[in-house]
Amino acid sequence: MERRQIIVVGGGLAGTATALGLASAGFDTLLLAPPAPDDRRTSAILGRSLAFLAELGVVDALGDRQAPLAVMRIVDDLGRLFRAPTVEFRAAEIGLSAFGINALNADLAEALGRCAATLGRLEIRSAAARGLTLSPDRAIVTLDDGAAIGADLVVAADGRRSPMREAAGIGSRQWRYPQTALVTNIAHSRDHASVSTEFHTRTGPFTQVPLPGRASSLVWVEDPKLADLYVDLRPEKLSETIAEKMHWILGEVTIDGPLARYPLGGSRVDRFTAERFALVGEAAHAFPPIGAQGLNLGLRDAEALIRLVSESRDDPGSRLALRRYEAARRGDVLSRTAGVDLLNRSLLVDFLPGQVARSSVLAAMGLVGPLRQFAMREGLVPGAGLVGLPRSVRKWMGGHEAAGDPVEQQGHGHD
């Protein structure tokens, strides 16, 4: 039987990044990546996730096919009695040139592939995994052609409906929201100036995120019945509707590509590991496209797994390494899941005390600098709100020393 140290199942962005990182760390790695459909969506990569990709060479491989995110603006467009003030989060306020980047998923996949092609310890096969057997001494993956491959560790990154997760006996809880996400890319007549704007509307967030040039990606959360109507609009009318919903801040708008729609929902697993088995990305947690959390969490999964199995190099699938991975990821995933869920649901309710509380929080963010800076650091790197951003993050995000950074004042980092 063929044998490898680690098998990664799933050739999406999180799976490929995990395999690339494991091979870069010196592990003999096999990536099972069946051909994926074309993906016109985009991903905003922030904080530690960006530093992780940069260290693998992916950001350099992207070249100019990325746009920096220097300012993130929240606009209350609910039309309710208590209207929160507009809040702007500026990366410069915490000593960074940008919070991260936004890029087409297709360009990210191509950059990951270019980096992977240079690694001798990484083999990529287009075969699909059809079966999984786990035991204390090894894991066995069966391919669609009937071949079986043994490994010290199997990493499943095969999506929110993960067949490998099911084969490992790990349960998950799925839920749906009464919303649909409309996703497209747009060109516009005015420069976005590296500013991302999130309009909070009665049906959910309506978010514009910069792309290179005078272009942006759009995630528009809408009532499902209205979403069906918008999909059928003529391109000229749809462009005008989008410009109006953005209050013409970017001028005239032109649709650049199809308008895709996705039912909004999420999922959470009972556990992240089994015997010689670990979950990363959407196989472990699925989010609605709100707050740029989905892929960033998947990349943080990858970074943590690589770091911890590297500390157990003789046996990367050991119970100790996997217990440590479980402990390292559970808090981050649970807190981000709860945060995204609370934000989304807060926009859907007309309960007056809830409106007041939400408006008060945003007002405090806008008025109180230390609170706003705490939120920005915590959003980029979990746990950095009070102790400051790690040097690795500042290095890859154009960072410079910010006044009052307790990490630098103490003369050490927490990478």
Nearest to 286 by CA among 336, 326, 328, 324: 336
Whether 18 is covered by a domain: the verdict is yes
Choose the final residue of a domain: 264, 295, 310: 264
Distances (CA, A) of 262 to 178, 230, 341: 12, 13, 17
Whether 318 is covered by a domain: the verdict is yes
Determine the Cα–Cα distance for residues 183 and 160; give it in Å rounded to an integer: 19
Among 33-37, 40-44, 92-96, name the one with the lowest average pLDDT. 33-37
Give the per-residue pLDDT at 406.
38
Whether 79 is covered by a domain: the verdict is yes
- Burial status of residue 365 (CB atoms within 10 A of its CB: 0-12, 13-18, 19 or more): buried
Question: What number of CA atoms fall less than 13 Å from residue 17's CA on the CB side?
Answer: 32
| Per-residue pLDDT band at 222 (split at 50, 70, 90) | very high
| Per-residue pLDDT band at 226 (split at 50, 70, 90) | very high
Choose the final residue of a domain: 264, 289, 309: 264
**25 and 162 assigned to the same domain:** yes
**197 and 316 assigned to the same domain:** no
Distances (CA, A) of 404 to 33, 294, 385, 392: 46, 31, 12, 18
**205 and 332 assigned to the same domain:** no
Choose the final residue of a domain: 264, 290, 313: 264
- If you search the block for the tokens 């390494």, which residue do you land on? 321
Determine the Cα–Cα distance for residues 23 and 217; give it in Å rounded to an integer: 32
Helix axes 47-55, 13-24, angle to 10 degrees: 50
Give the per-residue pLDDT at 347.
62
Give the per-residue pLDDT at 228.
93
**87 and 214 assigned to the same domain:** yes
For the chain, how many helices (H) and strands (E)?
14, 20
* Higher-scoring residue by pLDDT: 368, 191: 191
- If you search the block for the tokens 């071949």, which residue do you land on? 147
Please give the full DSSP string across 302-352, using - where no structure is assigned: HHHHHHHHHTTTT-TT-HHHHHHHHHHHHHHHHHHHHHHHHHHHHHH---H
* Higher-scoring residue by pLDDT: 191, 350: 191
Give the per-residue pLDDT at 346.
63
Beta bridge partners, 87, equal: 74
| Contact yes or no for 194/172 (Cβ under 8 A) | no
**214 and 198 assigned to the same domain:** yes
CATH no. for residue 232? 3.30.9.10
Whether 387 is covered by a domain: the verdict is no
- If you search the block for the tokens 């405090």, which residue do you land on? 364
- If you search the block for the tokens 């196989």, which residue do you land on? 283
**182 and 330 assigned to the same domain:** no
**pLDDT at position 415 over 80:** no
| Per-residue pLDDT band at 130 (split at 50, 70, 90) | very high
Separation of first and last alpha carbons in the chain: 39
Determine the Cα–Cα distance for residues 90 and 164; give it in Å rounded to an integer: 41
Q: Is 240 left (phi over 0), alpha (psi -120 to 50) or beta?
A: alpha
**How many domains, in total, are found in the chain?**
2
Quick one: average pLDDT of 390-408?
Answer: 59
Residue partners of 75: CB distance under 8 A and separation at least 6? 86, 197, 198, 199, 200
- Burial status of residue 149 (CB atoms within 10 A of its CB: 0-12, 13-18, 19 or more): buried
Give the per-residue pLDDT at 376.
79
Instruction: Domain of residue 310: give its range.
Output: 2-35+126-171+270-338
Whether 163 is covered by a domain: the verdict is yes
**259 and 187 assigned to the same domain:** yes
Residue partners of 24: CB distance under 8 A and separation at least 6? 56, 119
Whether 116 is covered by a domain: the verdict is no
Nearest to 262 by CA among 320, 222, 216, 235: 222
**184 and 141 assigned to the same domain:** no
Determine the Cα–Cα distance for residues 6 and 341; give it in Å rounded to an integer: 34
Query: Which H/E stretch holds residue 278?
Result: strand 277-279
| Per-residue pLDDT band at 402 (split at 50, 70, 90) | very low
| Contact yes or no for 415/403 (Cβ under 8 A) | no
Q: What number of other Cβ atoms are within 10 A of residue 119's Cβ?
A: 16
| Per-residue pLDDT band at 388 (split at 50, 70, 90) | confident
Tokens representing residue 88 in the block: 């702007």
CATH no. for residue 276? 3.50.50.60
* Higher-scoring residue by pLDDT: 360, 162: 162
**256 and 292 assigned to the same domain:** no
Distances (CA, A) of 6 to 123, 127, 149, 312, 377: 11, 16, 10, 13, 34
Whether 149 is covered by a domain: the verdict is yes
Whether 244 is covered by a domain: the verdict is yes
Give the per-residue pLDDT at 392.
76
Among 59-63, 159-163, 394-398, name the one with the lowest average pLDDT. 394-398
**21 and 135 assigned to the same domain:** yes
- Alpha-helical (H) ranges within 130-265 are 163-167, 224-231, 235-245
**141 and 195 assigned to the same domain:** no
Beta bridge partners, 173, equal: 268
| Per-residue pLDDT band at 306 (split at 50, 70, 90) | very high
**227 and 296 assigned to the same domain:** no
Determine the Cα–Cα distance for residues 338 and 209; give it in Å rounded to an integer: 23
